[in-house]
Each structure stands twice: as structure tokens, then as C-alpha cells.
Structure 1
Amino acid sequence: MRALFVALLLLYASGSGKVAGASGAKGNRFVCTAVPAGTDLSCSVDTSGRVQSTSPQEEELRNIIIQLRETILQQKETIVSQQGTIKELNSKLARCEADAKSRGSARRKDYSKNTMGDLPRDPTETVEQLGKTMQSLKDRLESLEQQLRANTSGGTLPNDLRDLLKHRLTDLESQLLTRVTELEEEKSQLYNETTAHRQRTENTLNSLLERITELEKSNSAFKSPEDFKVSLPLRTNYLYGRIKKSLPEMYAFTVCMWLKSSASPGIGTPFSYGVPGQANEIVLIEWGNSPMELLVNDKVAQLPLSVSDGRWHHICVTWTTRDGFWEAYQDGERLGTGENLAPWHPIKPGGVIILGQEQDIVGGRFDATQAFVGELSHFNMWDRVLRPIDISAMANCSAYMPGNVVPWVDVNVEVFGGATKAALEICEDRLFDS
């Protein structure tokens, strides 16, 4: 088109055809010269038909167009680079989400809510939005390039248009970088939340495994279910054991156990049984400088027992509602008897048996001054009065009789507040003490 324009100018300027001709010809002839493709044809023709060189204004316009084309190419390269970055971030986010779903614990995000301006929270929508933005940028650049080409024939490009173009390009690039940064931050937040939840889960599992290991060691340490002891080393109101089984209604009972204590004054309360309305239904206690006492329905009988020498002792107490008759045994020997201890009072059912504490209410409100300090084992209870020969056989380790109401077995005893259970073969340990 530009070559045709120059040719028309030459034709107009030649007038009578004196640019070139051959003498003797009938008419005027024009000489046409082939111009190679890509040759710069930006020139002007004066009124005399002579070709003039390019003006400074046209040269400036040409330089501006070249600069704008370079800027456009750079922006296109930047957009392609940002697309690659966005795809990489989207892939990383997808992997993070897949990892979180596989653990079943990552917090789900609400993608329907837009909290990043016009940037959707869904990574797929984010990529689509960025693609639309980049396409819009490309279209605007092409439109501006066409406007520049159209304006090159009409004069110099206005400075305000050039500045507006540069400002707009900078603004669009800034928006693109900001959104990519927001995506990176969201990915980092998701990773941190997933890591924290995984850490909490691992800590919980480790605690459970440690507890299971302790229980396995505890169980494996007992050669048989009854070969263990409960240790209550401090005089507090929070160390105690609890028997899981309760008592039926009874008209007689025998309670036997092994005790080891050196506490003074008084070893405390080896056991107590409380029921609703009567916390002292059955209590064995040695408190302060008083002798050991047996309480039934809050009635008291003093027992001639002494076990605070720091060695293992086998003690038994029996009681029957008939005349309130009771007996006290230590190491197989009957040391005392009496009567009129809560006569004709049946033992009430459905209460709580506590080892090591005296109950002021059923199952609680312990007094530290009445707490048992030491070790106990083989707490058994029967709903009848045992024969002296049976009690002596248990004390001499020649026989073992589990209680028909409360037997001493590991699964039947709970410990709290720092009280512990440990393996013990009571007859061997007692022999060693001797």
C-alpha cells in the first residue's frame, strides 16, 4: 500500500511526464523500479517531484511503535511465565488437598465465599479468572497497537496516551502478581493446617500406644490375676483404690487382706464401704493414737490388732447380724471377739468400696488425716463367717480362697490419684520379710 501511495505521488508530481522518457515516443512513459519486500518506503515527495528523506516526527513515531511492540512481547512472555507458575501452584494445592483428604482430617475450605476481592477461592476458578485477565490484557495491547499504527500518519503520539498505556500495563502486571502471591499464601496456610492436625493426631496415637504398652507390661508382670498389690505411699485425700463390684444385702460378712504399713500415728483407713444415707456402713480404721476400729452402720468396736511395724500382716474381721457378734484375726490367730455391734442390722446393698480412704459421702469427700499409708493386697470378702481353720490356712499360705462376694483380681481394682498397682507374690514376699 505504501509503494502504491509513493507511485501515485510520483505520477501527480510529474505533470507532463518529464520524470523519464525516450525521445520520439508518441506519449509519455514512466519508469517503474521493483522494490524488495521489507524495504522502508517512508518518504515524502515535494511539489517538484523530488523524493525527500524521512522527517524527525515520523522517525519518533517509528521508535515508539518499536518500543511498544517490545513491551507487548515482554508482557506476553511475563503472562506465559505467570501461567506456568499458576499451573504449578494449582498442582501443589491439589496435592495438598489430596493428602488432607486421605488423612480424613484437613479442614474443608468454603470456596463459595469470596474473601480475596474478585479472586475466587477455588484454585480452578482462580486459574480461569487469571486466564481471562491475561486474554483481556492481550486484546487491549493489540487494540493499542492498531491505534498507534493508525495515528502514525496523522502526527505525533500524544504523551498522555503513551503514559496511560504504560500505567495500565504496570497496573495489570501488579494485579497478576498480587493474585499469584495470594494463591501461594493460601497454599502455605493449607499446608500448615494439615501439618498441625497430623501432629496432633500423631501425639494422640503415641499417648494411646504408651498407655497400651503400660497396660501390657502391667498385665504381663502378674503371674496370676491375684498376684499384685496396691501402693498408697502418701497421706493425702486423693490417692485411693476402688473396687468395681458392689455388695448385695448381707446378714454376715468376713473381710480378709494383707497389709504392710509403718505409718504413725495410726495406719489410716485400709477400706471403707458407704451406701446412700450411710457413708460408714462398714469401715476399718486406725486413726491417730486410737486402736484399730471396726464400724458397722456407724457403730464402733475396738480391735486388738497391731500392724504398723512395716511388715506384711494378714488380718481378717468377721461379723454377723445375730447379736452383732464380731471376731478379729491377725496372722491366722484370733485376737479378739465381741458382740452388740449393730445387731440385727442387715448390710445395705449398692454401695461403694474404697481402698485407702474413709468416705464422708458415698465415693468421696476424703480426709487426708484418715488416709491409709502403705501397701495392701488380697482384699477378699465373703457373705458368711469363715471358719478359723480357713482363715489360718490363708494366713499360713497353705490355701487361697477368693471371696465369693468380692474376689481380689486385677480387673476388679482401679487406682486413682497416683496410687499404683505392682506385681506381688505375697507369700514369697512375706517369707523374705521374716
Structure 2
Amino acid sequence: MKTVLVLLGVLLPLISSGQSGLTDKGLFFPKPSANSYVKLTPQKPLNLKAFTLCMRLSVDPTVVNQGNRETILFAYRTQNGDELNVWQEYGKFSLYLRSSTEGAFYAIPLLSIFRTNLCVTWESSTGLTAFWVDGRRSTLQVYRKNHKVQSGGAVVLGQDPDSDLGGFDEDQSFVGEISDVNIWDSVLTGDEIRNFNDKVWVGPEPNVLNWNTVWYKVNGNVFVVPEKYK
């Protein structure tokens, strides 16, 4: 019995330190919180001159769609500040690259209780930026031409870190479900992004952050939703 307890003492810290892969699973944030989040570890550094970020989202609209609310959808922060953030705020969607004030803003349909396939594309050489909702592209904007996303940060779902995994604000927290968060280091074609709507993905393998293989750590009141609910 003593040997078993010793082994458990060794294994439990390893188990609680994180897990790998979220294939056919989702993350459910049931209510506003200042301490519930999931940290993702990408398979390669976010050292990007272009990207496609895709995810599937559904929300509690009674919370998230209040006209004066900011809701973080995706956060990537380095020690120097917010590096790549996606928000639904004040009735619009927004993308911020190394800024919390100067962003690209889009008046597109808001998230709902039903699942939305959301993608964001950006490339440094032209600055061309777009949001894609269920395979439909917004108008293009020019944003952060010749910019580069820096490596060395943390990817967080559910909260907007104002410091190193801290400084969370309950009124900015995500409330709902997130799944299939993937990042490519290029701008996918329209047909490839539209294929993201399908259950079986036939496009290129996500090479920066892959939901199926990503290392993740859950903190606080977050449910890992099993396949039977997907």
C-alpha cells in the first residue's frame, strides 16, 4: 500500500499539469469568471508573418451579447503585452495585433447559442485582413502591414490576461463553448476555409496550433465536453 501511495504522489502532479489532444471535444465555460481559463501550448512558436485562425463558438447571448460587454474569444500574450487577440465587443468583432487600442473592427453577425464557424486571416506583406463567418468572408481591411507576430507568449482561452496568466476581468470572460481552435502560418484559400465547416477536414494540417494534438491545461470551472455532445 505504501508503494502505491508513493506512486500516486508521483503521478498526480503529472496528470494535473496538463493533457494532450482535444479531438472531437470542446471546452465549456458555464458562467462569467475571473479565474476559469485553458492554456494551450502550440506545436511551434507563434512567429508569424501571416496566419489563419479558425474556431467553433457558441455563447450564452444573455451575457455575451450585451451591448456594452467585451468578450475575449482568443488571447495570445507575451511579456511585452497583448500580441494577438480576438474579441466580440460592443456589438462588433475585433482583431488586435500588439495593441489593445488600435484594431481591425467588423460589424458582422454576433455569436449565438448555435455553433458558429469563425476564422480570421491576416498577412503582413499586404496587411489584408478578414473575418469569415460560416464560410462567408467579410470585406477586407488593411491592418498592420509589415508587422510580425512575436513568439514567446501564452495562448489562453476564456480570459484576457493583462499580465502573465493574471489580471483577469470577469466582465471580459468567455461564456459558452469553444472547440476546434486551429492556427496555420499562412492565409488559407476561401475553399479551404469553407471546408472548415465540415466535420471531416480536408485542408492542410494546422501547423502552428492543432486542436487534435495541442497540449492543454484547464484551470477553474471549465468542462471538457466529450464527443457524444459534439
The alignment's TM-score, normalised by the length of structure 2, stands at: 0.82
1:273 and 2:70 equivalent? Answer: no
Separation (CA, whole Å) in 2 of partners of 1:103 and 1:390: 55
Q: In structure 2, do the counterparts of structure 1 residues 355 and 400 end up closer, same or farther at CA, with 3 Å as the change threshold?
A: farther
Structure 1 residue corresponding to 2:41, chosen from 244, 255, 260: 244
Q: In structure 2, do the counterparts of structure 1 residues 286 and 411 end up closer, same or farther at CA, with 3 Å as the change threshold?
A: closer
* Cα displacement (A) at 1:277: 1.1
Letter of the aligned partner of 1:396 in structure 2? Answer: D
Aligned positions of 1:100-119 closer than 5 A: none
* Cα displacement (A) at 1:363: 2.6
Separation (CA, whole Å) in 2 of partners of 1:329 and 1:407: 19
* Cα displacement (A) at 1:323: 3.4
Contact 2:91/2:110 (<8 A) preserved: no
Q: In structure 2, do the counterparts of structure 1 residues 319 and 103 end up closer, same or farther at CA, with 3 Å as the change threshold?
A: closer
Contact 2:97/2:144 (<8 A) preserved: yes
Contact 2:56/2:117 (<8 A) preserved: yes
Residue aligning to 1:407: 210
Separation (CA, whole Å) in 2 of partners of 1:400 and 1:356: 28
1:230 and 2:27 equivalent? Answer: yes
Separation (CA, whole Å) in 1 of partners of 2:224 and 2:109: 25
Residue aligning to 2:97: 296
Unaligned residue ranges in structure 2 (runs of 5+): none
Residue aligning to 2:141: 338
Contact 1:329/1:336 (<8 A) preserved: no
Letter of the aligned partner of 2:188 in structure 1? Answer: L
Contact 2:73/2:158 (<8 A) preserved: yes
Residue aligning to 1:424: 227
Letter of the aligned partner of 1:364 in structure 2? Answer: G
Separation (CA, whole Å) in 2 of partners of 1:412 and 1:425: 22
* Cα displacement (A) at 1:336: 2.9
Residue aligning to 2:188: 386
Structure 1 residue corresponding to 2:53, chosen from 255, 259, 262: 255
Separation (CA, whole Å) in 2 of partners of 1:321 and 1:342: 7
- The DSSP-based 3-state class of the residue aligned with 1:390 is helix
Deviations 1:307-342 (A, max 9, x none): 432000101000011232101100111123211x22
Deviations 1:236-275 (A, max 9, x none): 1111111022634210111000001123325711110111
Separation (CA, whole Å) in 2 of partners of 1:227 and 1:284: 23
Separation (CA, whole Å) in 1 of partners of 2:8 and 2:96: 47
Letter of the aligned partner of 1:416 in structure 2? Answer: N
- The DSSP-based 3-state class of the residue aligned with 1:323 is coil
Contact 1:260/1:307 (<8 A) preserved: no
Deviations 1:12-68 (A, max 9, x none): xxxxxxxxxxxxxxxxxxxxxxxxxxxxxxxxxxxxxxxxxxxxxxxxxxxxxxxxx
Q: Percent identity?
A: 25
Residue aligning to 2:165: 363
* Cα displacement (A) at 1:425: 6.6
Name segments (4+ residues, structure 1) moved above 6 Å: none
1:309 and 2:112 equivalent? Answer: yes
| Larger relative contact order (CA 8 Å, sep ≥ 6) | 2
RMSD (Å), alpha carbons: 3.0
Contact 1:232/1:375 (<8 A) preserved: yes
Aligned positions of 1:64-75 closer than 5 A: none
Q: In structure 2, do the counterparts of structure 1 residues 381 and 352 end up closer, same or farther at CA, with 3 Å as the change threshold?
A: same
Contact 1:239/1:356 (<8 A) preserved: yes
Bigger drift between 248-257 and 390-399 goes to: 390-399
Deviations 1:345-391 (A, max 9, x none): 11101111001111212332111111110001000001100000000
Separation (CA, whole Å) in 2 of partners of 1:291 and 1:260: 16
Separation (CA, whole Å) in 1 of partners of 2:2 and 2:126: 69
Residue aligning to 1:283: 85
- The DSSP-based 3-state class of the residue aligned with 1:395 is coil
Separation (CA, whole Å) in 2 of partners of 1:385 and 1:374: 27
Separation (CA, whole Å) in 1 of partners of 2:217 and 2:95: 24
* Cα displacement (A) at 1:418: 1.7
- The DSSP-based 3-state class of the residue aligned with 2:118 is strand
Aligned positions of 1:72-87 closer than 5 A: none
Separation (CA, whole Å) in 1 of partners of 2:91 and 2:160: 16
